[in-house]
Chains A and B, each alone.
Chain A
Amino acid sequence: MTSKPAKISVQGVTKTFALGRDTFTALDDVSLDIADHEFVTVVGPSGCGKSTLMNILAGLETPTAGRALVDGAPVLGPGPERGVIFQQYALFPWLTVRQNVEFGLRTTGVPKAERRSRAEHFIELVGLERFADALPKTLSGGMRQRCAIARAYAVDPSILLMDEPFGALDALTRVKLQEQLLRTWSQDKRTVLFITHDVDEAVFLANRVIVMAARPGRVYDVIEVDPAIERNEAFRLSPEFAALRNRVWHSVYHQEGRTAPAAAGSATS
């Protein structure tokens, strides 16, 4: 794995936002490499810049300093090799499930017949075939999320950027979608950057868990998870899982100097 070049490379990325007269540092000198076929999860407190990092990789934001590379080339904008699943489902509410899934295929000029069959395939993959012609408003949260996943998959990206995709779902649906995601990932081995604020989810899915800290947003800790472990219920209930979970939990919720920035924050305001 070490011999492979990085699929995604984030090099000293800093992102500041103008906040009135001040600037706010959302990301401070973040560096990280993700190998081809790797499943990386990012976990951290709210406001630590997870979404900002993903937007930079998606090409929706530009870094203030540093650079983001995909396949060795700097990210200059969105690209079809990077599929994005947003924190909010971001389905087009005026389009049916099928039309949503076909959206990316239309913009990339896939001919109609192929569009149809590819959309059909991914709608089936996420189990929405009975709802192919339904509008998003008639779908439950979990179904909307599956539709968003199908829409991203349909363009066949080699990289999936997922921003808390299961955040708004109940525990049961969530576990199901996690397992389904891992099943498809183990077949097609895309490179996945998966953002979450759920420690269990981060550990269960990842080859590597990246823990971020806030104010300023930075990489705080990196925890490896043996990719050879089979991700199933047994793993979820195993002592290894509990140990990893403990480590990540401590990293997220007992970050050193965590009180210091908060105090500094209240002093400035």
Chain B
Amino acid sequence: MSVLEKRGAEPSGQTPPAPDDAGTTNATKTAAEPSRPGRRGLPLILNAVSVVLGIALWWAAAAAGFKLPTPPEVVSRAGTLIADGTLGEDVLASLTRVLIGFGLGTAVAVPVGFLMGWYGIARGLMEPWIQFFRTVPPLAIIPLAVVVMGIDETPKIFVIFLAAFLACVISTFQGVVNVDRTLINAARVLGARDAVIFARVVVPASTPFILVGMRVGLGSAWATLVAAELIAAQEGLGYRMQNAQLYYDLPTIFVGLISIGILGLLMDRILLLAERKLTGWQERR
């Protein structure tokens, strides 16, 4: 009981941290939740206004005689492409490539990054290669990949894999290297052995880094997709746009661009959501 009354007196005594203390008391309940939509509402409206304005501007430019398709043209082209199934097939083909390449890339990058961060030997062995390939844009690998792997799906997925892998491996490695020594020491004095330290300290502590790496990796994977689909593809958003270019088919190019943008945005949002869920414990500055 004496502890309780002492605690009650505490916030008033802590001159500088007092507002913080009071604020956090509320934050652990629900006070932070209702205030969020209010704060978010305005930017959302601004976003919508901005999008509408942008489309209006585009339309105006097209009407003014710039070599652009008008929004209705693009929408109707999207309609036909959806109706005859082309867009669906293209999206599916592109998504499959990106997801396989990105999935493999992260799946390999995370353990490799951990190994590099945890074991000096692994770092010494792998660092030169990673540093080297980091300076070579994945697209520059395409000619080599085509010669070595042929023109089927393999080289396309490979360059996407490489792009995602490189972005994610470096960030995972950074995460492991940056794990606070005191946290590892704290775990050790609480009786944790290496395996437990790894699973219960190193992994959670580097999760924010891994997720940032994944988001960057996803960006690189998308960025590489169109170029990868230049390699003798039969379908895919990049291929469709490339093909449309031959016939000056601007509406189709627009449909392709917008689809890539929307898909990329959606996937990024999904990762962002995962990031919020998994790294909500971080103190934001």
The segment from B87-95, B109-117, B179-187, B255-263 that touches chain A is B179-187
B190 and A107: CB pair below 8 A? yes
- Other-chain contact of B281, A86, A131, A137, A155 (Cβ < 8 Å): A137
A262 interface residue per 8 A CB criterion: no
CB neighbours of A80 from chain B (8 A): 191
B189 and A170: CB pair below 8 A? no
B20 and A140: CB pair below 8 A? yes
- Other-chain contact of A103, B14, B187, B281 (Cβ < 8 Å): B187
Type the 1/0 row for A148-184, where 1 means its CB is closer than 8 Å to any CB of B: 0001000100000000000000101100100010000
Closest to B197 in A: A107
B190 and A104: CB pair below 8 A? yes
Type the 1/0 row for B1-18, where 1 means its CB is closer than 8 Å to any CB of A: 001101100110111110
- Other-chain contact of B189, A58, A133, A142 (Cβ < 8 Å): A58
A140 and B14: CB pair below 8 A? yes
- Other-chain contact of A142, B3, B14, B28 (Cβ < 8 Å): B14
Chain A nearest CB, measured from B184 CB (Å): 9
A90 interface residue per 8 A CB criterion: yes
Known: A90-B183, A139-B24. Is A151-B281 also a contact (CB below 8 A)? Answer: no
A83 interface residue per 8 A CB criterion: yes
Give the size range of B's interface with the partner: 35 or more
B188 interface residue per 8 A CB criterion: yes
Chain B nearest CB, measured from A13 CB (Å): 19
B28 and A131: CB pair below 8 A? yes
B190 and A155: CB pair below 8 A? yes
CB neighbours of A95 from chain B (8 A): 281
A170 and B282: CB pair below 8 A? no
A138 interface residue per 8 A CB criterion: yes
CB neighbours of B6 from chain A (8 A): 127, 176, 180
B264 interface residue per 8 A CB criterion: no
B188-235, CB < 8 A from A? 188-193, 196, 200-201, 204-205, 207
A170 to B207, CA, bound (A): 33
CB neighbours of B205 from chain A (8 A): 94
A103 and B10: CB pair below 8 A? no
CB neighbours of B193 from chain A (8 A): 107
A73 interface residue per 8 A CB criterion: no
B14 and A172: CB pair below 8 A? yes
B13 and A170: CB pair below 8 A? yes
CB neighbours of B191 from chain A (8 A): 78, 80, 104, 107-108, 155
B281 and A94: CB pair below 8 A? yes
- Other-chain contact of A92, B7, B28, B201 (Cβ < 8 Å): B201
B189 and A82: CB pair below 8 A? yes
B273 interface residue per 8 A CB criterion: no
Closest to B26 in A: A138
CB neighbours of A60 from chain B (8 A): 185, 188-189
Chain A nearest CB, measured from B253 CB (Å): 45
Give the size range of A's interface with the partner: 35 or more
A141 interface residue per 8 A CB criterion: yes
- Other-chain contact of A127, B7, B200, B281 (Cβ < 8 Å): B7
B190 and A93: CB pair below 8 A? no
B283 interface residue per 8 A CB criterion: yes
CB neighbours of B11 from chain A (8 A): 140
Chain A nearest CB, measured from B17 CB (Å): 5
B282 and A173: CB pair below 8 A? no
A67 to B31, CA, bound (A): 54
- Other-chain contact of A90, B20, B28, B185, B281 (Cβ < 8 Å): B185
CB neighbours of A92 from chain B (8 A): 183, 186-187, 200-201, 204
A95 to B207, CA, bound (A): 14
A84 interface residue per 8 A CB criterion: yes
B27 interface residue per 8 A CB criterion: yes
Known: A103-B187, A104-B191, A127-B6. Is A140-B182 also a contact (CB below 8 A)? Answer: no
A239-262, CB < 8 A from B? none
A180 and B3: CB pair below 8 A? yes
CB neighbours of A141 from chain B (8 A): 17
A151 to B256, CA, bound (A): 56
Chain A nearest CB, measured from B182 CB (Å): 4
A140 and B17: CB pair below 8 A? yes
Chain B nearest CB, measured from A63 CB (Å): 17
**Chain A: residues with CB nearer than 8 A to chain B?**
55, 58-60, 77-78, 80, 82-84, 86, 88, 90-95, 103-104, 107-108, 125-127, 131, 133-143, 151, 155, 170, 172-173, 176, 180
**Chain B: residues with CB nearer than 8 A to chain A?**
3-4, 6-7, 10-11, 13-17, 20-21, 24, 27-28, 180, 182-183, 185-193, 196, 200-201, 204-205, 207, 280-283
A/B interface sample: 13 pairs, CB < 8 A: A59-B189, A60-B188, A84-B185, A93-B281, A93-B283, A107-B187, A107-B190, A127-B6, A135-B281, A136-B281, A170-B15, A172-B14, A180-B3
The list of the 6 closest CB pairs from A to B, nearest first, reads: A104-B190, A172-B13, A90-B186, A127-B3, A107-B191, A94-B281
